[in-house]
Chains A and B, each alone.
Chain A
Amino acid sequence: MSDGTAVRSFPVIIEPLLAELSGEGKNGIAVPSPFDAALCNGISAHTRMPELPELSEVETVRHFTRLSRLNFGIETGMYPLGSCTMKYNPKVSEEIARTIAAVHPGDETGRASVLEWLVSLKGILEEICGMDECCLWPAAGAHGELTGMLVIKQAIMKKKERRTKVLIPDTAHGTNPASCSIAGFVTVNIPSGPDGFLRAADLKDHLDKDVAALMITNPNTLGIFEQEILEIARVLHENGSYLYMDGANLNAVMGIVRPGDIGVDCMHINLHKTFGSPHGGGGPGSGPVLVKKDLAPFLPVPRIERNGSGHLVLQDDFPDSIGMIHSTYGNVAVLLKAYVFCLSLGPQGLKEASIRACLNANYLKSRLSTLFDLPYTTPTMHEFVLSDKKQKSSGVTTIDMAKALMEYGFHPPTVYFPLVVQGSIMIEPTESEPMSELKRFVGAMEDIAKKAAAAPDDLRTSPRGMPVKRVDEVWAARNLILTWKDLNPSE
């Protein structure tokens, strides 16, 4: 193991459940009681105390600290999850986001400066994407997709048209079809071309007056830029259909291509990917939607508007709007983190981030494509897809190699997606990785390739040095133990 020396950073901890640590009468955290509890006597309160475990403060802290040590974060090491853009999350963004913690959304004084920042962020995102208007409120990428498709639906209805179909290439993101369904569309899966990008000529075969939009991911999930995008936009527009772009892979093209300049009518972006806000183990994210002028009237409310006296206010009287999509106005703290990220980098830094992301990915592809099958030789950008074709003959599959990577101190890549490649391994290093980490990753992959040939059984039983061994996901689905009560039904 030359460069790929294992980093055994995982402790062996079997941490009990909170319920198992609970003991009656342990000190919880005290809450001041200035008001007379007897005043509540009129309420028909529950006779029993809330069903929660009782722990001392030190046990709570230790429990969660120990759990955290069973996790892998971007600060632990490289996290090459394809299409997830796991880049460094700047500390300054976290620090600044905390400044709004105590602002209530109904506090017009406190939120005044927050709205100013949001307007500036909106402007930056519109500039990066080359789009005319932006709604910041969607709370995640899929929420953005839904919002964008509702906007398109509304525009179609306004034109008194009846277009029900949305075309989705097989290299698009997995959430797209479900978002379209909720927005009231029927989706049609269309195959991408032999080189991993959609041909305008093939698209034409699927176009008719019932097509509302094409929902394309660009660069797509193979990391390939949609080379015929200009022609695709042209034939779509000629057909009266919209071009929706899933901007989850925007990290490849900041300052290089602006979606608005290549005919995109509507798109969403993922601030928790491209703009460096942390993913939090599954959110909170943020998925702003950007549109061209003609779709702007349909964007959600509220909208931030400047009133007569120059103050920013939230307004919701826009009759063409699809309505509200969130309880307040989005994941404001996440928006602020993205804003700080953009200001930190500046125009050149944003472009440089995309260039380095592409450089790092192409470096890894060059180094790894001799050892692993590279199903598409088309040039790729910030990510690329390998497969397990070369290893399969010795009985080693993608999942085995993914699990083995953990033992080298890496989070596995995205696996078995996109579906166009069997046993796909989708690698996205991002711009955050230094040369040393890239080399270490190559070393680990080389080692795994060697083991796949020489000692396949080792890989098939990996990981062995993690807090748990290979986890039985089938057992979980069969037994459905979803709470403490399911574990001890008698209690």
Chain B
Amino acid sequence: MSFLPTSPEDLKDLLSVIGIEDVEQLFSAIPKEARHKGPLKVEGPLDELTLRRRFQVIPLRVVFLGGGVYHHFIPAVVDSTASRQEFLTAYTPYQPEISQGTLQAMFEFQSMMAALTGMDASNASMYDGATALAEAAIMATRIKDIKRIVISRSTNPVYRFVLKTYFRNNHEVELVEVPFDPTTGKVNAGALEKLVDGSVAFFLQQPNYFGVIEDMGRVSRIAAKAGFWGVVVGEAASLGLLQPPGSFGCDVVVGEAQSFGNPANAGGPLLGFFCTKKEHIRRIPGRIVGLTRDSAGNRAFCLTLSTREQHIRREKATSNICTNEGLCALRATIYLSALGPRGLRDVAVQCAAGTRTLMSALEKKGIKPVFTGEVFNEFVIPMDTDTLKNLQGSGIACGIPIGPNYPEMKDAVLLTMTEMNTNEDIRCLTELL
């Protein structure tokens, strides 16, 4: 299948209008030595049915996996409305008169994300949670004279790795990690206190990578001494239950909102978000939609503050991001509209309540969580690789091994519960332990 619409007759017309006899003449400006000779070694062409038969996946039956990507219930309205071609196949809304649908939906996304995080403003999305964090750190260094980026070691390891990549050629800023309390799993407040001062940008994940809910009141009193501080949200469903991070006075709330209406998709696309205080709005990366009016005075929307962006500010831009995760943001907007406040609260409550149900079931089998801190929907338990592999053989993904990134917890896994997990899942797992 080539999806080409031109008939042989049309081809002749095209050539004659152009004034050439052979398509080869289209490429006459290319030096001969530069031309590719012979066919490309690529499989195909394949027809639709053959293709559809080829692509089959069988995921594991019972899954307790999270760690940054989550299985949540996605109402049917999300797929049915987000897959409308007017949303799906449109470009970035540079021309507002012909893109009001995307623009208004983005404005609503910004409004809901700002409200849920307790911040003043939001951009129209980032690639994922990790790059949202990295860009927040870059922004901090541009707003203040930042010498060190301090980050809690209980922030998702891959987020910290990506942060490191983004800063690898910035030799003026040092990356420092704050340890966590080995008993509670919360950030070590004493260590944090010693590290934080005006030349520091501090970031902390809430709930942290171990699922543990940080004591934000205490953390924020210390973090207030930092030149800049931000909260990283790895599991957006937590925003349905916990106090908005913005209410603790941070400069930014960034993170991952894949949980809002976007499937796991074997890892992507994800949905990074970036929320900020209004005072930083001119420094944030990415697209922002603003409300405005048209020449008749009616309400309209358009991209705004584009003077921050790469196509105008070139090398002095706040970021290089342009294409973001627009459709994923649209899906989140539809999801939040469909669920409403009570739906989102119910999702969060079921995540947390299910987690506690799973915890007690495991405790009956003698398996206690590694940390004592209160958790949201994830927790760490001791488990060796063999047990994990055996469970996998029985169709159960019992969590993500965290040993590779936390050598002090060699045999430990991170388990996740969401509203997609059932009592039956818990029974399947505990029966095999």
Q: Report B194 CB to chain A, min CB distance, Å.
A: 26
Q: Which of A67-122 contact B (CB under 8 A)?
A: 67-76, 79, 81, 84, 86, 88-90, 92, 94-97, 99-111, 113-114, 117, 120
Asked if B170 and A184 sit within 8 Å, CB to CB, the answer is yes
Asked if B97 and A469 sit within 8 Å, CB to CB, the answer is yes
Q: Which residues of A contact B87 (CB under 8 A)?
A: 64, 67-68, 71, 73, 280-281
For A340, give its contact among B51, B115, B325, B339 (CB under 8 Å): B51
Q: Which residues of A contact B17 (CB under 8 A)?
A: 363, 366-367
Q: Which residues of A contact B89 (CB under 8 A)?
A: 73-75, 86, 89, 278-279
For B34, give its contact among A53, A257, A285, A402 (CB under 8 Å): A257
Q: Which residues of A contact B98 (CB under 8 A)?
A: 71-72, 406, 411-412, 463, 466
For B288, give its contact among A40, A352, A482 (CB under 8 Å): A482
Asked if B319 and A46 sit within 8 Å, CB to CB, the answer is no
Cβ of A308 under 8 Å from chain B: no
In the complex, A318 Cα to B51 Cα: how many Å? Answer: 35
Assuming A72-B98, A74-B85, A470-B294, is B36 touching A343 (CB within 8 A)? no
Cβ of A65 under 8 Å from chain B: yes
Asked if B65 and A104 sit within 8 Å, CB to CB, the answer is yes
Q: Which residues of A contact B48 (CB under 8 A)?
A: 92, 344
Cβ of B84 under 8 Å from chain A: yes
Q: Which residues of B contact A65 (CB under 8 A)?
A: 81, 84
Q: Which residues of B contact A330 (CB under 8 A)?
A: 267-268
Q: Which residues of A contact B368 (CB under 8 A)?
A: none
Q: Which of A181-231 contact B (CB under 8 A)?
A: 181-184, 186-187, 224-225, 227, 229-230
Asked if B40 and A324 sit within 8 Å, CB to CB, the answer is no
Asked if B10 and A84 sit within 8 Å, CB to CB, the answer is no
Assuming A109-B392, A349-B44, A479-B290, is B352 touching A327 (CB within 8 A)? no
Contact with B along A332-372 (1 / 0, CB 8 A): 11101000101111111111110110111011001100000
Contact with A along B319-335 (1 / 0, CB 8 A): 11111111110100010
In the complex, A279 Cα to B311 Cα: how many Å? Answer: 18
Q: Which residues of A contact B304 (CB under 8 A)?
A: 473, 476-477, 480, 482
Asked if A476 and B291 sit within 8 Å, CB to CB, the answer is yes
For B92, give its contact among A46, A110, A282, A471 (CB under 8 Å): A282
Asked if B7 and A435 sit within 8 Å, CB to CB, the answer is yes
Assuming A52-B112, A330-B267, A466-B97, is B293 touching A475 (CB within 8 A)? yes
Cβ of A140 under 8 Å from chain B: yes
B contact residues, total (Cβ < 8 Å): 189
Cβ of B67 under 8 Å from chain A: yes
For B353, give its contact among A36, A342, A469, A475 (CB under 8 Å): A36
Cβ of A7 under 8 Å from chain B: no
Cβ of A37 under 8 Å from chain B: yes
Cβ of B429 under 8 Å from chain A: no
Q: Which residues of A contact B330 (CB under 8 A)?
A: 280-281
Range class of the A interface residue count: 35 or more
Asked if B44 and A37 sit within 8 Å, CB to CB, the answer is no
Q: Interface with A: B123-131, B180-188, B219-227, which one?
A: B123-131
Cβ of B347 under 8 Å from chain A: yes
For B130, give its contact among A88, A280, A326 (CB under 8 Å): A326
Cβ of A331 under 8 Å from chain B: yes
Asked if A106 and B44 sit within 8 Å, CB to CB, the answer is no
Q: Which residues of B contact A395 (CB under 8 A)?
A: none
Asked if B327 and A280 sit within 8 Å, CB to CB, the answer is yes
Contact with B along A1-37 (1 / 0, CB 8 A): 0000000000000110111000000101111111111
Q: Report A356 CB to chain B, min CB distance, Å.
A: 6
In the complex, A442 Cα to B317 Cα: how many Å? Answer: 37
In the complex, A330 Cα to B131 Cα: how many Å? Answer: 12
Q: Report B233 CB to chain A, min CB distance, Å.
A: 13
Cβ of A146 under 8 Å from chain B: yes
Q: Report B384 CB to chain A, min CB distance, Å.
A: 16
Asked if B281 and A482 sit within 8 Å, CB to CB, the answer is yes
Asked if B287 and A471 sit within 8 Å, CB to CB, the answer is no
Q: Report A231 CB to chain B, min CB distance, Å.
A: 9
Cβ of B387 under 8 Å from chain A: no
Asked if A105 and B88 sit within 8 Å, CB to CB, the answer is no
Cβ of B433 under 8 Å from chain A: no
Contact with A along B404-424 (1 / 0, CB 8 A): 000000000000000100110
Contact with A along B95-113 (1 / 0, CB 8 A): 1111111101111101110
Q: Which residues of B contact A447 (CB under 8 A)?
A: none
Q: Which residue, B3, B68, B128, has most C-beta atoms of chain A within 10 A?
A: B3
Of all chain A residues, the one with the shortest Cβ separation from B307 is A477
Cβ of B140 under 8 Å from chain A: no
In the complex, A364 Cα to B104 Cα: how many Å? Answer: 33
Cβ of B120 under 8 Å from chain A: yes
In the complex, A352 Cα to B44 Cα: how many Å? Answer: 13
Q: Report A195 CB to chain B, min CB distance, Å.
A: 10
Asked if A333 and B268 sit within 8 Å, CB to CB, the answer is yes
Cβ of A457 under 8 Å from chain B: no
Q: Interface with A: B22-30, B144-152, B196-204, which one?
A: B22-30
Q: Which residues of B contact A359 (CB under 8 A)?
A: 6, 11, 14-15, 18, 23, 26
Cβ of A454 under 8 Å from chain B: no
In the complex, A333 Cα to B169 Cα: how many Å? Answer: 31
In the complex, A485 Cα to B101 Cα: how many Å? Answer: 20
Contact with A along B20-55 (1 / 0, CB 8 A): 000100111111011110011111111010011001
Assuming A346-B46, A363-B18, is B290 touching A476 (CB within 8 A)? yes
Cβ of B252 under 8 Å from chain A: no
Q: Which residues of B contact A127 (CB under 8 A)?
A: 40-42
Asked if A105 and B36 sit within 8 Å, CB to CB, the answer is no
Contact with A along B299-317 (1 / 0, CB 8 A): 1111111010011011111
Q: Which of B343-360 contact A (CB under 8 A)?
A: 343-347, 349-350, 352-354, 356-357
Q: Which residues of A contact B240 (CB under 8 A)?
A: 50
Q: Report B156 CB to chain A, min CB distance, Å.
A: 8
For B165, give its contact among A86, A142, A300, A355 (CB under 8 Å): A300
Q: Which residues of A contact B23 (CB under 8 A)?
A: 355, 358-359
Q: Which residues of A contact B44 (CB under 8 A)?
A: 342-347, 349
Q: Which of B261-308 contact A (CB under 8 A)?
A: 263-270, 281, 287-296, 298-305, 307
Q: Which residues of A contact B264 (CB under 8 A)?
A: 101-105
Asked if A49 and B341 sit within 8 Å, CB to CB, the answer is yes
Q: Which residues of A contact B195 (CB under 8 A)?
A: none
Q: Which residues of B contact A124 (CB under 8 A)?
A: 42-43
Q: Which residues of A contact B382 (CB under 8 A)?
A: none
Asked if A187 and B51 sit within 8 Å, CB to CB, the answer is no
Asked if A469 and B51 sit within 8 Å, CB to CB, the answer is no
In the complex, A334 Cα to B128 Cα: how many Å? Answer: 14
In the complex, A261 Cα to B108 Cα: how many Å? Answer: 47
Q: Interface with B: A55-63, A235-243, A289-297, A385-393, which one?
A: A55-63
Q: Report B100 CB to chain A, min CB distance, Å.
A: 4
Q: Which residues of A contact B357 (CB under 8 A)?
A: 35-36, 39
In the complex, A99 Cα to B296 Cα: how many Å? Answer: 47
Asked if B324 and A329 sit within 8 Å, CB to CB, the answer is no
In the complex, A61 Cα to B334 Cα: how many Å? Answer: 8
Contact with B along A460-474 (1 / 0, CB 8 A): 010100111111110
Cβ of B231 under 8 Å from chain A: no
Asked if A328 and B270 sit within 8 Å, CB to CB, the answer is yes
Extra contacts besides A49-B342, A326-B128, A468-B294 (9): CB < 8 Å: A29-B77, A69-B86, A108-B397, A255-B36, A282-B93, A323-B162, A336-B55, A468-B97, A479-B291
Q: Give me the 4 closest cross-chain CB pairs, A-B, nearest first.
A: A184-B169, A346-B44, A280-B327, A282-B326
Can you list 22 residue pairs at the A/B interface with Cβ under 8 Å?
A40-B349, A42-B374, A57-B77, A57-B338, A60-B338, A64-B82, A76-B85, A142-B321, A278-B88, A343-B43, A347-B41, A347-B42, A349-B1, A349-B45, A359-B18, A363-B18, A412-B98, A468-B100, A471-B302, A477-B304, A482-B304, A485-B111
